[in-house]
Amino acid sequence: MNKVKVHQTSNLEEGYESRIKLYEDVLQHQRDVYNVLLELSYNLRENGSNHDWSKIYYFNDFAEDVLERQTNNDFKNRRWYKLHTSLERHHINSSVPENVNLLDVLEMIVDCIVSGKTRSDDGVDFKFLELDETLLTEAYWNTVTLINDNVILKIR
């Protein structure tokens, strides 16, 4: 996440000298929140554009393991799959990335739903979407830290 500057406003607890100043600060707060959310959306967009990059980068290994799966059903124990799930942050159920965050969780959710709907007549298998509450709490606080560390106050 890139750094995002937010602008200092007056403290509501200390009161305001005018309605106009209060209004200006509300508008500034809206712009600041928008800019932080926009930066997060850029990160999500990047996750989407790089999704499953290891399937392309290691395509020959991936193809070999997928094609061999027809005769050997231990796909998840094969070298390529272990590499894939250790390199791609959204494979949370296989390998929890360092500093797992809610962006990783969102990519995992989208991946599971899209895979389920496009690959099977049975649809989404929700067992792949089950996450431990401790992991979700960790992802939440790591996201809080990610945002906090990248939001910088611009003093007037």
Element (H, E) at 17: none
What is the pTM assigned to this prediction? 0.89
State yes or no: pLDDT of 100 exceeds 90. Answer: yes
State yes or no: pLDDT of 85 exceeds 80. Answer: yes
**Is the dihedral angle over the CA atoms 135, 141, 144, 150 positive or is it negative?**
negative
Q: Which residue has the tokens 């000298």?
A: 17
* Average pLDDT score over the chain: 93
- Residue 65's pLDDT is 86
Query: Cβ contacts of residue 68 below 8 Å, gap of 6+?
Result: 78
Strands 151-154 and 4-7: parallel
- Residue 52's pLDDT is 97
Q: 14-45 pLDDT, tens per residue?
A: 888 899 999 999 999 999 999 999 999 999 99
At residue 122, φ and ψ (nearest 5 deg) are -75, -15
State yes or no: pLDDT of 156 exceeds 70. Answer: no
- Residue 72's pLDDT is 67
Q: Which residue has the tokens 């890139």?
A: 2
- Residue 16's pLDDT is 87
- Residue 68's pLDDT is 80
Q: What percent of the chain has pLDDT over 90?
A: 78
**What is the residue-wise DSSP string for 28-81?**
HHHHHHHHHHHHHHHHHHHHHHTTTHHHHHTHHHHHHHHHHTTT---GGGSHHH
Taking residues 84-105, report their average pLDDT. Answer: 96
